[in-house]
């Protein structure tokens, strides 16, 4: 059986003290076992700090973005080579907040996926529809198009995160039928693990875990609250 993924997206939150404490707490709680792979994605300045805490544990390091260039005069950017050098195994690519606030296009995302793979980093491609697309029924074709342009199907090692934009940070979560419809569609297109993200917490995670084709979660807010995140972990452990 493939491991389930539990990915923490800390976004632009925390400071040295807080992230050190969270990483230590997760390191003490999440021991080696064959059912779950936990990934922590702090923002760039804290990669090294978090890596030093988790390096002797089964927890893996991820970043939240990658430059679409290899190296050179790109002030403010961080390359795939640098992220690999800092100890990253995974890279979140195309998060809806990057699409929205930094105008990332599906074409940019395709380039980033390629650069991640060239640096032996596993891309976590985020896809998902706006609320209006859920309402007008075009969500499946929107997601299909995001996947087509990203060319993620060329990668042997990659993860797709289905994150409906309207569910991120809102407390609104699609029902199990709605999530499984999208995951099914994605799995017909690509042979890759698919996780769900959007307002996951200790309560709703149990219901969503009844979807047996689901490969795990990408968790924002709840991953910054140690007890919540540990409960989600335990829910995955006790699910069939």
Backbone φ and ψ for 58, nearest 5 degrees, come out as -80, -5
2 is catalytic: no
* Euclidean distance between CA atoms 220 and 120, whole angstroms: 25
Q: Kindly list the residues in this chain that would bind ligand PGA in the complex (CB under 6 A).
A: 9, 163, 168-169, 197-200, 218-222
**Beta-bridge partners for 216:** 5
Is residue 182 a contact partner of residue 140, using CB atoms and an 8 Å limit?
A: yes
Name the minimum Å distance from CB 26 to ligand PGA: 16
- Beta strands 60-63; 216-219: pairing state: unpaired
Exposed/middle/buried for residue 78 (C-beta within 10 Å: 0-12, 13-18, 19+): middle
95 is catalytic: yes
- Beta strands 36-41; 4-9: pairing state: parallel
Q: Which residues are catalytic?
A: 95, 163
């Amino acid at each position: 059986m493939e491991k389930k993924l539990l990915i923490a997206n800390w976004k632009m939150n925390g400071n040295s003290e807080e992230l050190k404490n969270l990483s230590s707490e997760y390191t003490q709680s999440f021991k080696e076992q064959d059912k779950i792979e936990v990934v922590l994605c702090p923002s760039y300045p804290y990669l090294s700090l978090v890596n030093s805490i988790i390096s002797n544990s089964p927890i893996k390091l991820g970043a939240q973005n990658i430059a679409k260039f290899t190296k050179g005069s790109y002030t403010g950017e961080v390359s795939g080579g640098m992220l690999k050098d800092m100890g990253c195994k995974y890279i979140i690519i195309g998060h809806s907040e990057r699409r929205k606030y930094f105008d990332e296009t599906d074409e940019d995302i395709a380039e980033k996926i390629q650069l991640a793979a060239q640096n032996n980093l596993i891309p976590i491609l985020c896809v998902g529809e706006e609320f209006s697309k859920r309402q007008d029924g075009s969500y499946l074709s929107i997601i299909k198009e995001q996947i087509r342009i990203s060319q993620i199907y060329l990668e042997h090692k990659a993860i797709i995160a289905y994150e409906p934009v309207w569910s991120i940070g809102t407390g609104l979560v699609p029902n199990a039928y709605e999530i499984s419809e999208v995951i099914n569609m994605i799995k017909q297109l690509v042979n890759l693990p698919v996780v769900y993200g959007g307002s996951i917490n200790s309560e709703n995670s149990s219901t969503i875990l009844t979807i047996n084709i689901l490969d795990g979660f990408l968790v924002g807010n709840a991953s910054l609250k140690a007890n919540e995140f540990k409960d989600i972990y335990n829910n995955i452990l006790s699910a069939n």
